[in-house]
Every structure is written in C-alpha cells, then in structure tokens.
Amino acid sequence: MKGPKGKYAWTVTVGEKGQIVIPKQAREVFGINPGDTLIILGDVNKGLAIPPKSAFAQFASAIFESESDNEEEE
C-alpha cells in the first residue's frame, strides 16, 4: 500500500543510550548527512517532531519578527 505523495513513515529502535538510527531512506529524502545538527521538538500530548533545519530557521525568524513587531507597538 502506497501512502499519500510526500508522506512517509518509518520505525526506529531506541538503543540503551537513548539513541536512534534514522533510516537511510529518510536521510536521503530529507538531506540529512553525518555531522548535521537536528532539532527535536516535543509536546507532552502530541509527541516528538524532528523538523528540517530550514523549517526551524523560518520558524525562529517568524518568532523574532513577531517579537520586534510587538515591541514597536508598545
């Protein structure tokens, strides 16, 4: 059964040290290379997410822009 275009699911095993191995296909699809830094976001109710670095950079920029807009309004 094939999933919707652009949607993926993989399983990973957590090792004794709490480490996971990102499947090769996932690394290829998302351009994850040895030495890359990943961001792990967590929500107690919704779980964990590992967004691409570029998405987090855009998110952080939006936060800082929003904060500076709020400071200008005060």
Distance in angstroms (rounded) separating the CA atoms of residues 61 and 46 = 24
pTM score: 0.63
For residue 62, what pLDDT is reported?
81
**Per-residue model confidence (pLDDT) at position 38:** 87
pLDDT exceeds cutoff 60 at 42: yes
Residue 2: the pLDDT is: 65
| pLDDT computed for residue 71 by the predictor | 56
CA nearest 48: which of 16, 20, 7? Answer: 20
